Amino acid sequence: MGCRYPCLEIDLARIAQNTNHVVKLCRRQGIEVLGVTKGFCALPEIVWAMHIGGIRHFADARVENLYQLRLNRINGPFTLLRLPSLSMVAEVIEVADVSINSEFEVIKALSSQALSMGKSHQVILMIDVGDLREGILPEQAIAVIRKALGHKGVSLRGIGTNMGCFGGVLPTQKNLGLLQDLGREIRARLGIELPIISGGGTSSLLLVENLTMPPDINQLRIGEGILLGTDTTNNRQIPYLDRDAFILKAEVIEIAEKPSIPMGEIGQDAFGQKPCFIDRGIRRRAILALGKQDVEITGLTPKDEQMTILGGSSDHLIVDITDSTAQIEIGSVVNFSVNYAALLSATTSPYISKCYNNLNILKEVPI
């Protein structure tokens, strides 16, 4: 079946391989990997590729995506990775086995809802060890847990933290050590089991690689690394992972030699920005049928290093192809790698078709 452009080409074998590398690395240090599916809208083919790579526990920030996992007959447990909204506790109890939490009021509501539905729900209490996104401050943890323990519809499974997202704080032996110490304190003072200490996402992998992960950390929630082979927070490519699982492809609809500075008086562009240009003389430019309505264009990098993206609008992407040795004509297809933001938008976009390579690896699974 031919793919309609623009399309996101997804290599399931590379995703399964990456998953397997990460799962094995973490398993050797007693760490379970949750497969984070929010970066690709929980597309079932990709979820199954992660399953083949060894993931048995999936996590997503959206209840819609968790419902999709269930619809696609993927077995739980499922963790909700965004703090539940008070208005959505019924759905959360229905679709998620576990959720991350930081508000006592919400934990209380989850408990009542779970009791009324005859279900039980597991809670990971998020602790803020510095990034200043979600989580309670460590010194408040014991008090919140004491209150939560009275609510029998929920059980406290563990504590966790998130890093590198808002404040860009890097996970370290020191701040994850703080989480570990807090876990030990909670167990000692409250006499509870607290089996899970969840130490972050892709940015925490570096500590596993360096053998510096505090030993009590026994869960990581990984998306970016498995999907893209990158670790944006630490600004690195992960050397043992493949970075070509996703390629965005778009079609050329105009090619022209034009000056590099627009002619006429310059106002604002279509998005209210004042553009700024450098005079590089006459350049050969290709216009692609791809724009901001399709994808986060700032997250694209041409696979051909001799090409540069000059800019784009809602529906058009303009690429300088002067230095490329590729034979570019009308109808040619140009390939891009995507960062996390571009992956997120491309998989969400109804305008971008998805085509899969190595679909045959799914022959064993009920898709």
The residues assigned a catalytic role are 38
292 contributes a contact to ligand PLP by CB under 6 A = no
221 contributes a contact to ligand PLP by CB under 6 A = yes
As a whole number of angstroms, the distance between CA 176 and CA 161 comes to 8
Residue from 84, 153, 201, 312 in contact with ligand PLP (CB under 6 A):
201
Q: How far is the CB of 236 from ligand PLP (least distance, A)?
A: 13
Nearer to ligand PLP, 26 or 36 (CB): 36
Residues 146-185 that bind ligand PLP (CB under 6 A): 162
Closest C-alpha among 116, 136, 212 to residue 172 = 212
H or E segment at 285?
Answer: strand 282-288
81 contributes a contact to ligand PLP by CB under 6 A = yes
DSSP 8-state code for residue 2: P
224 near 22, Cβ under 8 Å?
no
Q: How far is the CB of 293 from ligand PLP (least distance, A)?
A: 24
Q: Is the dihedral of CA 315, 280, 307, 237 positive or negative?
A: negative
DSSP 8-state code for residue 91: H
DSSP output for 115-160: HHTT--EEEEEEB-SSS-SS-B-GGGHHHHHHHHTT-TTEEEEEEE
Q: How far is the CB of 355 from ligand PLP (least distance, A)?
A: 23
Q: Is the dihedral of CA 253, 255, 260, 266 positive or negative?
A: negative
53 contributes a contact to ligand PLP by CB under 6 A = no
The single-letter code of the amino acid at 291 is G
Residues in the chain: 367
Stretch that binds ligand PLP, among 19-27, 35-43, 176-184, 317-325 (CB under 6 A): 35-43
Residue from 38, 283, 284, 316 in contact with ligand PLP (CB under 6 A):
38
Residues 56-75 that bind ligand PLP (CB under 6 A): 61
Q: How far is the CB of 172 from ligand PLP (least distance, A)?
A: 16
15 contributes a contact to ligand PLP by CB under 6 A = no
As a whole number of angstroms, the distance between CA 161 and CA 220 comes to 10
Using DSSP, state whether 44 is helix, strand or coil. Answer: helix
Nearer to ligand PLP, 232 or 301 (CB): 232
Q: How far is the CB of 354 from ligand PLP (least distance, A)?
A: 19
**How many residues belong to the site for ligand PLP (CB under 6 A)?**
14
224 contributes a contact to ligand PLP by CB under 6 A = yes
Lookup result for tokens 């009920």:
366
Residues that bind ligand PLP (CB under 6 A): 36, 38-39, 61, 81, 100, 162, 201-202, 221-225
